[in-house]
Amino acid sequence: MPKLEPDALFYLIKSLTKSEKRHFKLYAKRTNSERDAKFIQLFDTLDQLKEYDEKAVMERAIGIKPSQLSNTKAHLYRQILKSLRLLEINQNADIEIREHIDYARVLYNKGLYRQSLKTLERIKQKAIEHHEDTLHLEIVDFEKLIEGQYITHSMENRAESLSREAASLTGVISRTQEFSNLSLSLYGLYLKLGSVRNESDYQVVNRFFYRHMPKYELSDLSVNEKLYLFQSMVWFHYIVQDFVRCYRYAQAWVDLFHSYAELKTAKPDLYIKGLHNLLAALFNIQHYEKFKEVLKELESLEDKSGNENLDILTFLYTYHNRINLHFMEGRFTDGLTLIKPIEAKMESLDSKLDHHRILLFYYKIACLYFGSGDNKNAVKYLNRIINFKDVNLREDIHCFARILNIIAHYELGNNDLLEYQIKSTYRFLVKMDNLQKVQKEIIKWLRKTPRMLESDVRGEFIALKDRLEEIVSEPFELRPYLYLDIISWLESKIENVPVQEVIRRKFLHRKQRKML
């Protein structure tokens, strides 16, 4: 086993639930050897520490010599993983299937070929039921190996049947990988750039997508092929801002899980992500009633999995979309109640959250404060994004955080800071090649504000609003409005009312029109 990082074992122990710790203790005490006693003592020591400190470990684990610590840690790490594997075997079909493949290998090595084949045949059915295509192929390859020994006296067509099964599975797995690779590449592109900014961006993404999209007939595809195809379609249409088609493919993604109930057990993480992407599409097309319905489905999964990875995903996506619900309804002040539980959870998951998710929460929280009129706290969270070193991660969030930061400073009356903020933001947007018409108009307008007469301000707000409403109808100029409802802010300044009041009024108007 490779050498462990100093705190890898510590973090693994701290991630264990009470039931997992109890199971490990029972598993570890199955023998009473001196070596087992040492790694149990090390487990208890690390479990009691709040932070990893090797000096404190040696002081407390008195039965372990310094020269023994490295090997004892490696042994304990393996034993914990073995214990967790046994605990999760009934919750994860792939773990159970791999275990029976191992049993078949042991029987094969003992020369018990028929027993080995029977074991493989039984577990093959489970692999088929749970759409575990890769493990299914591994089982078939093992069956071919045994049949190739010419010792089982199987039916004459057995070899041909296995060969056809292997060829079919190879094709399915190959196409699944092509769809999966395309989906992952598009996601990586989105993390870097966000949505397309102009015709040039669109052509790059469009060419990439269709060059890597394999030929297919939907009716011929397996469940896994369809799943990754729909993922690819969702990402492509999301990036090019075709939100209606994005919604259709996100719905098809979730419908797969509704049609094949076993998928929710086999691939629960993709089920949760499917719900999240469906919610993102519904938010962008402002389909409120459907959004609430899907959010309720996502919320029903909270704290029920017993799987920390799924709990983290459910937390991220549930709170992200709860914030979006407040955005849709124009209830920004009410949404502030979400911030405390979000920050508490983020702190407890500090070592497990990727920077992308953290930046996204900071921007969402900043927007909640801005919409509620608390510009001081909005600036606080925007500065966390602006001061983040890796500006290549979610360039779009970095760019719009700076735009919103200028507007928040304007609202605060920080005129002495505005000139610097505007110049700094302008340079950043040019450097990032992210200066669109909307951003140019906002910056140009803000540059004029120190010279405006008070009597002219309202007219200037109206003029800016008129220009932005013309721009929003142009291709690829919708993007800025996905991050900041600048027109509603302008209307709030023109009418001299809070911005959330304007957004709330628009929401109620849309809702009333749908009822007619």
The rounded mean pLDDT for the chain is: 89
Q: How distant, in Å, are the alpha carbons of 13, 293, 317 from that of 302?
A: 23, 15, 10
pTM over 0.85: yes
What percentage of the chain has pLDDT greater than the value 70?
A: 95
- What is the chain's length? 516
Q: What is the DSSP letter of 110?
A: T
pLDDT over 80 (residue 30): no
**Residues of the chain with pLDDT > 90: what percent?**
59
CA angle 256, 262, 267 (to 5 degrees): 75
pLDDT digits (tens, 9 = 90+) for 171-226: 999 999 999 999 999 988 888 777 888 888 899 999 999 999 999 999 999 999 99
Q: Of the candidates 175, 173, 160, 158, which has an alpha carbon nearest to the alpha carbon of residue 120? A: 158
d(CA 175, CA 216): 9
Task: Give 125-180 pLDDT, tens digit per residue.
Answer: 999 999 999 999 999 999 999 988 755 555 567 888 899 999 999 999 999 999 99
pLDDT-derived band at 231, boundaries 50, 70, 90:
very high
Does residue 4 carry a pLDDT above 70? no
Residue 455 contacts residue 499 (beta carbons within 8 Å) = no
pLDDT given for residue 36 in this prediction: 61
Note the pLDDT tens digit of each residue in 73-97. 999 999 999 999 998 888 889 999 9
CA 358 to chain centre: 11
Determine the Cα angle at 58 with ends 54 and 64, to 5°. 125
Q: What does the pLDDT look like over 455-503, one tens digit per residue? A: 888 998 999 999 988 888 887 777 777 778 889 999 999 999 999 999 9
The backbone region for 497, taken as left when phi is positive above 0, alpha when psi lies in -120 to 50, beta otherwise, is beta
What is the reported pLDDT for 29? 80
